[in-house]
Amino acid sequence: MPTPPAVIVVVSLDHPPSLKLRRAMKISITGENQIVSPFQIIRDMSNIRHNWTREEIGEIYERPLLSLVMDAAIVHKANHVFGEVQISSLLSIKTGGCSEDCGYCPQAARYHTGVQVQALMKVDDVLTAAENAKAGGASRFCMGAAWREVRDNRDFDRVLEMVKEVNNIGMEVCCTLGMLTQYQAERLAEAGLYAYNHNIDTSEEHYSEVITTRTYDDRLNTLEHVRKAGISVCSGGIIGLGETDTDRIGMLQTLCNLPQHPESVPINVLVPVAGTPLANNGRVPFDELVRMIATARIVMPHSAVRLSAGRLELSVAEQAMCFMAGANSIFAGDKLLTTPNPVFNADMEMFKTLGLTPKAAFADGQPKHKQVADAMQ
């Protein structure tokens, strides 16, 4: 009688893999005509793909919660320094009075939310805010403007100045200013912009239930302009907009089937604001946020998955599960754009309790446009 093939599975949570595991690799695991190395198992789980089907993503999203978190943690550990969390600080540089109808947004002029309209800030004030954020441990500074799109005017020149100044103090600079043309993306790149945030927000199917004043394709075009300009792409969405699980899976499918995965994927939980059409949407159950984060981690193994708006409603234990599930970035500071966020000391306490460490600026290298410019010198 032939001996049944032996199957040995070795999974190491060490990163980088320990010497012992590397030695063990040399003893290949053999089945019938099959050689599988432990590294291959981990590599398969970390495979970068751009052809995910909804069914495949749905199968991941619906796994039993703890198995899903475990699978995501393995992918996370194989691709990132486990426990290292990127800290981004947000500043609203132009607030409220926006022409758009995004149903979640307190800054849309048409909703009566009590947000005070504020013109574009002065460069010096923005720089002071960035310096404070840096002193508090933030490596990235993200400036948000309540604009539909960027216009080629003096305000844009001032934003370019802000980008230059914040870049000069050694922070990764990010902007979220609405839609961009290719030319505007290139000007931002030249000024030293590291990343651009532009969310797709939800699935293509659910999108028109939430926003009617610009299309899903408009958003994808802006992402293409950002990518072509060599700026790091930050794009994700919001859960709690009244979408179904299929919409959530669809949103992740759009993101992970882009020609290149976004380097950062913010997962926001709706912050319901009185006066907006979505003010009375129910709270998103915490396990659904964990599912979203874990699935994003598995389908986009190299991206930073950002646990974004909605953290104020989460306990430290709930946030810990999000970090286990692959979240490795947060917005820190007591305000997001217009709504509250956990205070600085509470986050520092959480980092201590969970053994998290802040990621240094430019740990992933300079953006492509900068590398090209340096190489040409």
Catalytic residues: 98, 102, 105, 142, 174, 234, 306
Closer CB to ligand SAM, residue 141 or residue 147? 147
Encoded one letter per residue, x for contact with ligand DTB by CB under 6 A and - for no contact, window 63-102 reads: ---------------------------x------------
Q: Which does 254 bind (CB under 5 to 8 A by kind): ligand SAM, ligand SF4, ligand DTB, none?
A: none
Contacting residues toward ligand SAM, per CB under 6 A: 104-105, 107, 144, 146-147, 176, 178, 198-199, 201, 238, 268, 270-271, 273, 309, 337
Choices 2-10, 98-106, 220-228, 249-257 (CB under 6 A): range interacting with ligand SF4: 98-106
Rg (CA), the chain: 22
337 binds ligand DTB (CB under 6 A): yes
Does residue 107 interact with ligand SF4 by CB under 6 A? yes
Give me the 292-331 binding string for ligand DTB, x by CB under 6 A, dash otherwise.
Answer: ----------------xx----------------------
The 10 Å Cβ neighbour count of residue 157 is 11
Angle at 115 between CA 109 and CA 120, to 5 degrees: 80
Tokens encoding 90: 């947000």
Pairing of strands 140-145, 84-94: parallel
Query: Would you count residue 130 as binding ligand SF4 (CB under 6 A)?
Result: no
Amino acid at 3: T
Residue whose structure tokens are 């797709």:
200
Distance CA 37, CA 29 (A): 6
Closest to 227 in 3D by CA, of 201, 258, 254, 200: 258
**Considering the rule CB under 6 A, would residue 202 count as an interface residue with ligand DTB?**
no
Which amino acid type is present at position 72?
A
3-state secondary structure of 95: strand
Residue 274: CB minimum distance to ligand DTB, A: 13
